[in-house]
A and B are shown apart, each in its own frame.
Chain A
Amino acid sequence: MRLSAAVGLGTVFLATFAMAQGGKDQRRSGYQDMSPALQKMQDDDTANPAMLYVQVGETLWKQKAGASNKACADCHDSGSMKGVAARYPAIPPGGDKPVDLEGRINLCRTGQQKAAPFEAESEELLDLAAYLARQSRGMPIAPTDDPRLTSFRAHGEQLFKERQGQLNLSCANCHDDNAGKKLGGAIIPQAHPTGYPIYRLEWQALGSLERRLRNCLIGLRAEPFDYGSPDYVDLELYLMDRAKGMTMDAPAVRP
């Protein structure tokens, strides 16, 4: 079953790649920019280190917590979570601004379970995010067409194109204008968030898109936005729209 899943996903990527070469879609995911050895590490669920986090995420999903003594599984059938990671960030019911997947998990944690929110980038939060993202693996990125998101997405696009930091570069300078070329020894990816949360070899751990964006900002010698800043959500909103239709390969391995 697992082998066919791995082969299936490999085929999906080859098909996406073939389509891209055909001139229709020039977009490439970070998976395609990796060496075969790392692709193999990601494809094998019995060897992908991210699966250690998914495993714990599944346990946490079923664990009762908080003053309500409810588990996520008490309200959500895990099958019903397919496609959720593929459409976030989104505006939660009763809310007026978008949250990312981790933000949404914490809203449930405080609102429904009546428990303390998980800290940013904490292992439990990443475990749950990895478990949820795994449910969307193989599905196309499908942001909602909620009209309220338009202004937030536009802000995200502005952040993507704005020069920052001592190096005075914008995300677009590398990831739009120079994707595919090398920076140091590394291939510059197009920066489509198809695989988050990722097991990044550089971190030797699983991490969120927010962590990766902070990494880039530090790399630019810019002041990273605070953890939980809506700027990250707006950026992610833009990135997911930019990657619309691409296949989720979460939780991914990246160098």
Chain B
Amino acid sequence: MANVLINAPKTVRKGETIELKALILHPMETGFRPGVDGRLIPRNIIEHFTATWNGVEIFRLKMSPAMAANPYVSFFAVAKESGTIRFQWTGDRNFLAEGSVMVTVT
């Protein structure tokens, strides 16, 4: 289970625009850094991040080695219906992490 920190308001009025934040522990090794032995440390990054609201994609991000370690992203979404917002991260070495949060829309 990857270490993720997701933040979204628990309850929101229909039609309101809410901020969604996602933070995940990951080295985001660029592949350009030399190690102590002088050889390049192999690349190991998260490449894709997607967010869905009740299964409908609301946001997609393609990350490059220029993203900081332990990547953080915040974006917005309009609250239409109650349900589950799911986040998924995939990357090098078959990396897969998921997290979700429930939002009640009144």
Give residues in A with beta carbon < 8 Å to B: 46-47, 49, 51-52, 55-56, 204-205
Which of these, A47, A52, A204, contacts B3 with CB under 8 Å?
Answer: A52
Which chain B positions have C-beta within 8 A of A46? Answer: 5, 7, 21, 23
Q: Check B64 for interface membership: any CB of A closer than 8 A.
A: no
- Cα of A205 to Cα of B4 in the assembled complex, Å: 15
Which of these, A47, A51, A55, contacts B74 with CB under 8 Å?
Answer: A47
- Cα of A247 to Cα of B4 in the assembled complex, Å: 28
Chain B residues numbered 1-18 whose CB sits less than 8 Å from any CB in chain A:
3-5, 7
Known: A46-B7, A49-B70, A56-B3. 13 other contacts (CB 8 A): A46-B21, A47-B72, A49-B72, A52-B3, A52-B25, A52-B70, A55-B3, A204-B27, A204-B28, A204-B69, A204-B70, A205-B69, A205-B70
- Cα of A30 to Cα of B70 in the assembled complex, Å: 22
- Cα of A179 to Cα of B70 in the assembled complex, Å: 31
Which chain B positions have C-beta within 8 A of A204? Answer: 27-28, 68-70
Which chain B positions have C-beta within 8 A of A55? Answer: 3, 5
- Cα of A21 to Cα of B70 in the assembled complex, Å: 36
Chain A's interface: helix, strand, loop or mixed, by majority?
Answer: mixed
Q: A204-B68, A204-B70 are in contact. Are A51 and B27 (CB under 8 A)?
A: no
From B7, B24, B70, B74, name the one whose CB has the most chain A CB atoms within 10 angstroms. Answer: B70
Are the CB atoms of B23 and A47 closer together than 8 Å? yes
Which chain B positions have C-beta within 8 A of A51? Answer: 5, 23
The 6 closest A-B pairs by CB, nearest first: A204-B69, A46-B7, A49-B70, A52-B25, A46-B21, A52-B3
Pairs A–B under 8 Å by Cβ, sample size 23:
A46-B5, A46-B21, A46-B23, A47-B21, A47-B23, A47-B74, A49-B23, A49-B25, A49-B70, A51-B5, A51-B23, A52-B3, A52-B4, A52-B23, A52-B25, A52-B70, A55-B5, A56-B3, A204-B28, A204-B68, A204-B69, A204-B70, A205-B69
- Cα of A188 to Cα of B5 in the assembled complex, Å: 32
Q: In the complex, what residue of chain B is closest to A204 when comparing beta carbons? A: B69
Give residues in B with beta carbon < 8 Å to A: 3-5, 7, 21, 23-25, 27-28, 68-70, 72, 74
- Cα of A204 to Cα of B33 in the assembled complex, Å: 13
B83 → A minimal CB distance (Å): 21
- Cα of A77 to Cα of B68 in the assembled complex, Å: 36
Are the CB atoms of B27 and A52 closer together than 8 Å? no
- Cα of A55 to Cα of B6 in the assembled complex, Å: 12
Which chain B positions have C-beta within 8 A of A56? Answer: 3
- Cα of A205 to Cα of B5 in the assembled complex, Å: 16
Which chain A positions have C-beta within 8 A of B68? Answer: 204
B58 → A minimal CB distance (Å): 19
Which chain A positions have C-beta within 8 A of B21? Answer: 46-47
Which chain A positions have C-beta within 8 A of B4? Answer: 52
From A46, A51, A56, name the one whose CB has the most chain B CB atoms within 10 angstroms. Answer: A46
- Cα of A46 to Cα of B21 in the assembled complex, Å: 7
A127 → B minimal CB distance (Å): 9
Which chain B positions have C-beta within 8 A of A205? Answer: 69-70
Which chain A positions have C-beta within 8 A of B72? Answer: 47, 49
